[in-house]
Amino acid sequence: MKNSKILWLFGLVLVLSAFLAACGGGDDTDTGTETTETEGTEGNGGEPDSVQELNLIQSAEIPTMDVSMAEDAVAFEILNNVNEGLFRLNEENIAEPALAEGEPEVSEDGLTYTFKLRDANWSDGTPITANDFVFAWQRAIDPDTGSPYGPYMMAGTIKNATEVSEGSMEVSELGITAEDDNTLVVELERPTPYFMSLMAFGTFYPLNEEFVTEQGGDYASNSETILYNGPFTLTNWDGTGLTWTMEKNAEYWDAETVQLDAVNVDVVKETSTAVNLYQSGEKDRVGLSGEFALQYAEDPEVLREQEPVLFYLKFNQERDGEETAMANENIRKALATGFNKQSLVDVVLANGSLPANYLVPTEFAFNEAGEDFREINGDMLGFNADEAKTYWEQGLEEIGETEVTLELLGGDTELAGKMDAYLKDQLETNLEGLTVNLKAVPFGVRLELDEAQDYDIQNSGWGPDFQDPMTFLDLFVTGSSHNLMSYSNEEFDTLIEQAKGELAQDAEGRWEAMAQAEKLLIEEDAAIAPIYQRGIMSLQKPYVNNIVKHPFGGDYSYKWAYISGKE
Amino acid sequence: MARYIGKRLIYMFITLALIATFTFFLMKVLPGSPIASADKLSPEQRAVVEARYGLDQPLPVQYFNYMFGLLQGDLGISINQFKGADVTDVILSRMGPSAQIGFQGMVLGTFLGILFGMVAALRQNTWVDYTSTIVAIIGISIPSFVFASLLQYWFGLKWDLFPVALWKDGFMSSVLPSIALAMFPLATAARFIRTEMIEVLGSDYITLAKAKGASGSEIAFKHAFRNALIPLVTVLGPMAVSILTGSLVVEQIFAIPGIGEQFVKSIMVNDFSIIMGTTMFFSVFLIAIILIVDILYGVIDPRIRLSGGKN
């Protein structure tokens, strides 16, 4: 029997050593610790190679390539590269004319836009006409289509969109008409200063009526049943697979700008696998999450990008018909200033996120002079343990309690769990007499609880749908379907109303009104407590140049990207 | 025999109907909406999308519509995982890779497992026995994601013998995932065969066979092995289903377009029709395999009778 014990031990050692070897394996890859810290590899900017192929990884399948049905990041990103609308976000993330020939003619009241189309073709050579836009927009708003983003993007902006989507008007009543093949007239419900950036969004892309009708139910079911009009065309996509290619579109009007011949994409859901593919040289770029972000933080090939996605705590002021402790302003302010955001992003998130003392993200919305909206309001109500304590004591006195127990509702992912545990610890330490109970649920459940307003504090987030502070601010007007925390401030509502109405054509006044509204919401009312603005980390090979990251719509553009120095 | 199979088929049908009903209502209890952008849309906008997929109708109506479709072999269309795609097409397009690595893994694992188990039993309490036991313990106890990651790291990335991942190089792409999948059947088969063989080898009729002068190999294969197979067949059936229909973990690690990883995604995104379709597909498969296993018993061991005895 002694023999067998030794063998057992031997076996165990064998298993353990193999396991440890693999765990430690990543270390010998990052030998670049002594290089100076950089913001990341931005490419080497050299002469383009003769082989122009980019190999990428996507984290999820394409759910649909039908512009009317798209509602997720993957679909919008690919649509942004294989199709095009009237406008496109350029390398500086400013919307510039694409299928539109120059800026549109805008009526004095700001309600009618007349676009001239440039001469451009679909990938099968047929010309793109104004009717292609009319058909696509009507299709997206038609309730029979069941488009999620059609009504979402058009309602309240394009004339009659709400009525058409509810079925009380014919689709032909939608505010879009083709005057002739090259002239498109769009009528708006109200003046919309950010209308150009909307025109860069996937939902507003054109569709070739004849082709779509001919394909019927098969339209966009695989890469052969779609017409393209963007920098690339999609190939090798079978509709459900984990692989596809984007090839340079010879028919694209600006084809001479496009340098890449092919972008080969594979879906890899496991980060460790993605990193291995990057290390083996099969892939040129890989997103890092969780422990991989920590492990490669010092790698010379690491790339940090800011996203305009903001996470914040929602303070519910009324639950089950009764006021909560957070109906008190001082309690809210105490909670908002009672946790350290800097250590949260440094230690807990560790993925390049920024601590946020604001709602409208930085590097997202700019005025006509190119100034960031953030420069007006700056930081508001940051972490301050002493102030938090004062607010807290005052608040407790006002509501006549000495102890408060609150439920913090959050996501069930590993990251969300870590973050909420940190928040609980911080708040309970800084605010005496506070007990925070964590409730971690899947995304779908959180939405249901949000809708029923059945929570005390909620860890929530928002990403923009158009390039304007309004996409964040109007979430919190009284009665909004995203407010759901009984926050109501007449002054705030008025400011938002003005920015949408009478100030719509007064760029400066409007900007000012929105800045004031943000200040009210965050600093004076502490209706919500911003936590952080999301950052993402990736590894990118030094020979990859000019992949452009966008703040909304499709996340990336490959139109300007090229390979240099790979050979 | 024919009557027995006929009877079993009727039971199969009833079982499937029950599974469909149960899954349907269970799934509807799942929290969340199949609309990906549900957090952005207003309730009115969501209602429009739900109406498009018949989700606005009362639950009993949805249930009967679904069951009626099922009877006609119509599994419906995907709501959000592959918007508008026919569920049958989705399953068919994802089945091939799963079946290939599953079959290869199963065959490799069972074959090696039987071999290890037999050798261990015949050389009981020698180093051969201990080695094969250790292999079996490792196979059972290391989770497949660890094993798959190890294979990928060493054989793919470090030694460059096989592709790191992806489904692009035909058979070569299937080698590492198949080996990863083979570990479990290998370990299971080795353990079962060893235990059973040792028991059978100690029984009276083996002693008799030895006394009659049968050779060692004759005893091992003709007498002992066949009897040792019976418990193995019992576990191999359900194991084959779970492996052939895809292992989520292995498919995900090697980025293989299989049915397992797709099924889990459909649950995460609440794609009702895909969840139902895949569940029904798995169920049919499992029930059919159980029937085949029952029939196989009779072939391996004539003492097991399937239909009521008519002696």
Quick: pLDDT tens for A59-90: 889 999 999 999 888 999 999 999 999 999 99
CA–CA gap between residue B216 and residue B222 (Å, rounded): 10
Q: For B80, which of A63, A277, A481 is closest by C-beta distance? A: A63
- The answer to whether B114 and B191 are in contact (CB under 8 A) is no
Contact A151 B48 (CB under 8 A): yes
User: Which pLDDT score is estimated for B31?
Assistant: 75
**Within a 10 A sphere around the Cβ of A83, how many other Cβ atoms?**
27
Q: Which residues of A touch B156 (CB under 8 A)?
A: 276, 280
Contact A481 B43 (CB under 8 A): yes
- Among B27, B39, B275, the strongest candidate for a mutation testing the A interface, having the largest count of A CBs within 10 A, is B39
B188 to chain A, minimum CA–CA distance in Å? 18
Q: For B49, which of A15, A146, A280 is closest by C-beta distance? A: A146
- Among B42, B45, B79, B248, the strongest candidate for a mutation testing the A interface, having the largest count of A CBs within 10 A, is B45
A130 to chain B, minimum CA–CA distance in Å? 27
Which of A25, A24, A35 is closest to A542 using CA atoms?
A35
User: Which pLDDT score is estimated for A172?
Assistant: 95
pLDDT confidence of A22, banded at 50, 70, 90?
very low
- Among A273, A310, A412, A474, the strongest candidate for a mutation testing the B interface, having the largest count of B CBs within 10 A, is A273
Question: What pTM, to 2 d.p., does this model score?
Answer: 0.87
- Among B30, B37, B48, B160, the strongest candidate for a mutation testing the A interface, having the largest count of A CBs within 10 A, is B48
- Residue A121 amino acid letter: N
- Give A 221-240 residues with CB within 8 A of chain B: 221, 238-240
Q: For residue range A441-464, what is the model confidence (pLDDT) as tens digits? A: 888 788 889 989 999 999 999 999
Confirm or reject contact between A4 and chain B (CB < 8 A). Answer: yes
User: A181: which residues sit within 8 A by CB, 6+ positions away?
Assistant: A117, A127, A129, A130, A131
- The answer to whether A118 and A99 are in contact (CB under 8 A) is yes
- The answer to whether B174 and B101 are in contact (CB under 8 A) is yes
CA–CA gap between residue B239 and residue A235 (Å, rounded): 38
**Within a 10 A sphere around the Cβ of A490, how many other Cβ atoms?**
8
- Give A 478-517 residues with CB within 8 A of chain B: 481
The mean pLDDT of B197-224, rounded to a whole number, is 82
- Give A 243-282 residues with CB within 8 A of chain B: 243, 266-270, 272-273, 276-277, 279-280, 282
User: Which pLDDT score is estimated for B235?
Assistant: 79
pLDDT at B310 > cutoff 60: no
User: Which pLDDT score is estimated for A38?
Assistant: 39
The mean pLDDT of A9-19, rounded to a whole number, is 50
Confirm or reject contact between A447 and chain B (CB < 8 A). Answer: yes
pLDDT confidence of B305, banded at 50, 70, 90?
low
Q: For A268, which of B49, B134, B165 is closest by C-beta distance? A: B165
Contact A243 B154 (CB under 8 A): no
Q: Which residues of A touch B96 (CB under 8 A)?
A: none
Q: Which residues of A touch B254 (CB under 8 A)?
A: 273
For B92-122, the DSSP string reads HHHHHHHHHHHHHHHHHHHHHHHHHHHHHHH
Mean pLDDT of chain B, nearest integer: 86
- The answer to whether A188 and A112 are in contact (CB under 8 A) is yes
**What is the number of helices (H) and of strands (E) in chain B?**
13, 0
Q: Percent of chain A scored above 70 by pLDDT?
A: 93
Contact A25 B153 (CB under 8 A): yes
pLDDT at A21 > cutoff 70: no
pLDDT confidence of A8, banded at 50, 70, 90?
low
User: Which pLDDT score is estimated for A546?
Assistant: 93
A402 to chain B, minimum CA–CA distance in Å? 36
Contact B94 A448 (CB under 8 A): no
User: Which pLDDT score is estimated for B177?
Assistant: 94
Beta-sheet strand order (sheet of A232-235): A53-58, A262-267, A243-248, A232-235
Contact B166 A266 (CB under 8 A): yes
pLDDT at B311 > cutoff 60: no
Q: Which residues of A touch B158 (CB under 8 A)?
A: 25
User: Which pLDDT score is estimated for A370?
Assistant: 82
Q: For residue range A116-149, what is the model confidence (pLDDT) as tens digits? A: 999 999 999 999 999 999 999 999 999 999 898 9
**E strands of A236-319, at which residues?**
243-248, 262-267, 285-288, 302-315, 318-319
Q: For B32, which of A66, A279, A445 is closest by C-beta distance? A: A445
User: Which pLDDT score is estimated for A293?
Assistant: 87
Q: For residue range B125-183, what is the model confidence (pLDDT) as tens digits? A: 889 889 888 888 888 888 888 889 999 999 999 999 999 989 998 899 999 999 999 98
CA–CA gap between residue B62 and residue A402 (Å, rounded): 52
Contact B52 A268 (CB under 8 A): no
Q: Are β-strands A176-180 and A112-116 bridged in parallel, bridged antiparallel, or unpaired? A: unpaired
Q: For residue range A259-311, what is the model confidence (pLDDT) as tens digits? A: 999 999 999 999 999 999 999 999 999 999 878 888 898 899 999 998 999 99
pLDDT confidence of B245, banded at 50, 70, 90?
low
CA–CA gap between residue B297 and residue B226 (Å, rounded): 11
List for chain B the helix, strand, coil content (%; round to 5): 75, 0, 25
Contact B252 A269 (CB under 8 A): yes
Q: How far is CA B57 from the centre of its chain?
A: 35
Going from the C-alpha of A327 to that of each of A364, A395, A428, A457, the distances in angstroms are 31, 10, 19, 12
pLDDT at A170 > cutoff 50: yes
pLDDT at A6 > cutoff 70: no
Contact B165 A69 (CB under 8 A): no
The 3 state secondary structure assigned to A233-259 is: EEECCCCCCCEEEEEECCCCCCHHHCC
Q: For residue range A317-373, what is the model confidence (pLDDT) as tens digits? A: 999 989 999 999 999 999 999 999 999 998 888 888 999 999 999 989 888 888 899
The mean pLDDT of B176-201, rounded to a whole number, is 89
Q: For residue range B58-84, what is the model confidence (pLDDT) as tens digits? A: 999 999 999 999 988 888 889 888 888
Query: What crossing angle do the helices spanning B87-122 and B272-300 adopt, rounded to 10°?
Result: 40
A192 to chain B, minimum CA–CA distance in Å? 20
Contact A481 B142 (CB under 8 A): no
B114 to chain A, minimum CA–CA distance in Å? 21
pLDDT at A12 > cutoff 80: no
User: Which pLDDT score is estimated for B307?
Assistant: 54
User: A155: which residues sit within 8 A by CB, 6+ positions away?
Assistant: A161, A162, A165, B45
User: Which pLDDT score is estimated for A470?
Assistant: 94
Mean pLDDT of chain A, nearest integer: 90
Contact A273 B41 (CB under 8 A): no
B146 to chain A, minimum CA–CA distance in Å? 8
pLDDT at B44 > cutoff 90: no
**Within a 10 A sphere around the Cβ of B303, how many other Cβ atoms?**
8
B14 to chain A, minimum CA–CA distance in Å? 32
The 3 state secondary structure assigned to B163-221 is: CCCCCCCCHHHHHHHHHHHHHHHHHHHHHHHHHHHHHHHCCHHHHHHHHCCCCHHHHHH
